Amino acid sequence: MSKQIEDIEETLEGAGKENEYQVNIAQLEEEMQQLELSIKQQQEQILILNESTKQNLVKRHSMKETLYSNYQQIRNIRDSIESRISNHDVKDYLELVIKNNFLES
């Protein structure tokens, strides 16, 4: 009889280990799903950041072109002041106004 009881206990212990392994497998599968979801979310965020960076670079380039164009216009106006205006005080005043406008833009 004791041999039968020992056999039953061993069977129960084996069944307990199988249940424990099944629980561990279920936990591992759940953790894998969570990791996959987290990776997917991070990949989406990286794509968004890449697109935003591209747009910022395009805007930055456009702003540099506009700034250069404005600077060229100001230089042309400043260079033409001398030939168009004879009074030196007015020339100096206009140059200050132009420089101020450039700095404000």
Which residues constitute the domain of residue 47?
2-104
pLDDT in tens, 31-82: 889 999 999 999 999 999 999 999 999 999 999 999 999 889 888 887 777 7
Q: Residue 14 and residue 53: Cα distance in Å, rounded?
A: 58
Residue type, 25: I
Q: What whole-number distance in Å separates Cα of residue 75 and Cα of residue 27?
A: 71
Query: In the predicted model, is pLDDT for residue 23 greater than 70?
Result: no
Is 1 in a helix, a strand, or coil?
A: coil
**Across the chain, what does the average pLDDT equal?**
80
3-state secondary structure 63-94: HHHHHHHHHHHHHHHHHHHHHHCCCHHHHHHH
Structural domain tally of the chain? 1
